[in-house]
Structure 1
């Protein structure tokens, strides 16, 4: 008598996660949180890129052609080929795990056969002195937190994630140091702060009980992205070919 009841309960639980959003919340995100340091990237992509289009759809009802159209729509919105490919990679990972859990039939991922965009080699682009000064003046005039974050990127050569996820407890203005507890190499990294970088940090407003240099819009979270601000600013300044990562190259040069 108990076995049919257990089978019915298992089927009900599986039915509950057939839709993409439900599967991501119940299975995929818990899975990647245990296995990937960069799991928040997966979370952001599933929330921002997958959910609005496929969130309420059953995974076994999504067609390959729809995934193809979705990928090309991302490119049409102005996302770079590499960014589009990262989004597709997360979608493929979701579907692979869904097949492993029996939510998708084996070999029937809607992402199967969807080809990533070719990435053409891009030369490193650094700002020249005139461009860097023009950019810095524009950033200094802006009251946005994103502007202050970009100033620090240009003044320190830090990675975007290292600045956006920086905590006040890791800032030592007396020693002119910003410590990254866990860098990309897996070890702590110490970033030297110039007079200008220290001035930017001193001018940042501090919220009581908020650990982040750049608090996000969601309570308890850091600022998650600065792309929209950066996109509009570089268009205004005529620096459309400059990427955020190029600021790191500029500092190094």
Structure 2
């Protein structure tokens, strides 16, 4: 009977004979919804229970009886419905979290990463849900669905945990109701990739060839060399400004806001060894541009180092394939850097230092690690107890990086 009700020029209601006040409202558009009319505190109320189709007739009747029961106890169901309509969604929580926590309380690069992660990974999955309705089961499923990228899955839960803590502070959820509390992290394998001496030599040859051919911007080549000669982080070199280069003390100086661990360690200095000083001396300074690694846009730093790095890695593979073919060696003997990330240049600096006999605290200091546990990953490389310094680390690296071509 409900399905056959026709639309009219005006809305009308057909009342149920079983549940008093329960009916079907038919709009001129043809949309049909279950409604309930009831009296509370001597005032008449109307509420919409849901669309016909989304609810069956039996489900509509049960819901109507439940609402009538609440009204009989003096509980106005319209208050709950209004609260439901104004309850914040996870998308709204994400927007507030970004505006009031991520942007003002994290570093610029961290804020960009968090925002991108929240908008591209978390919001598409959870954004339409009401904050108060997100359950541990929902978070556990979300975490499980990202199992192919265990680190990303763990990062998502860590961000969500902080966000839902603030949701409690903002009274979006009851206290101690964080749905992320009991979610177990995926095991993460620490990625360890260091360049061997032959790999360093192959990289050096590729850099020199790219420099001679002019196939790679000089700024990018300088950045790669500085990264591996100093052990600095990617953004520390790309965003390095000339006023952070102290040629009297031979070091780079980063204030707390300019490096990753500044919040816990304050000002950071990186020693400049002679090979690094030589690279810096080869870089021209441009009036009006404060950056050492300059980009195409006037006054800006270089962008797109990842693409350059991928090209350099490919060049190494091409050169190596030709070398083994010429020497009539096995293809397996060819060096490949295809799995080497830019960040692995920093790992290489540390590995050379450890294998040369430097202590973990010394390497941790050079790298700017705020926690000794971070440097501990290199402990297994400390098998050659000799007393050397940062200058010798760079000397060994530059010996391969700028050395003569291999004869074998």
TM-score tier after normalising by the smaller chain length? 0.5 to 0.7
Q: Provide Cα deviations, 1:184-224, integer angstroms capped at 9, x if missing partner.
A: 43344241232x42343344465654433346899988668
Within the candidate set 189, 192, 205, 1:137 is matched to: 205
Q: Does the Cα contact within 8 Å between 2:289 and 2:298 map onto a contact in 1?
A: no
Task: Kindly name which structure, 1 or 2, has the bigger radius of gyration based on alpha carbons.
Answer: 2
Give the TM-score, by structure 2 length.
0.44
Distance 2:173 2:294 in 1: 39
**Aligned-pair CA distance for 1:83:** 5.9
1:23 aligns with 2:87: no
Within the candidate set 76, 83, 92, 2:161 is matched to: 92
- Give the corresponding residue for 1:101: 170
Within the candidate set 244, 251, 265, 1:170 is matched to: 244
1:247 aligns with 2:332: no
Structure having greater relative contact order (Cα 8 Å, sep ≥ 6): 1
**Aligned-pair CA distance for 1:112:** 4.2
Distance 1:181 1:147 in 2: 26
Q: How does 1:161-240 map to 2 (within 5 A)?
A: 161-173=235-247, 176-182=250-256, 184=261, 185-194=265-274, 196-204=275-283, 208-214=287-293, 230=309, 234=313, 237=317, 238-239=336-337, 240=339
Q: Provide Cα deviations, 1:36-64, integer angstroms capped at 9, x if missing partner.
A: xxx33541332222212344725626642
Distance 1:233 1:103 in 2: 51
1:71 aligns with 2:146: yes
Distance 1:133 1:217 in 2: 30
Q: How does 1:113-132 map to 2 (within 5 A)?
A: 113-120=182-189, 125-132=193-200
Aligned residues: 229
**Aligned-pair CA distance for 1:90:** 2.6
- Give the corresponding residue for 1:5: none
Q: Does the Cα contact within 8 Å between 1:157 and 1:251 map onto a contact in 2?
A: no
Q: Secondary structure at the match of 1:19?
A: helix
Q: Secondary structure at the match of 1:189?
A: strand
- Structure 2: stretches of 5+ with no match in the other structure: 1-85, 211-215, 318-335, 357-408
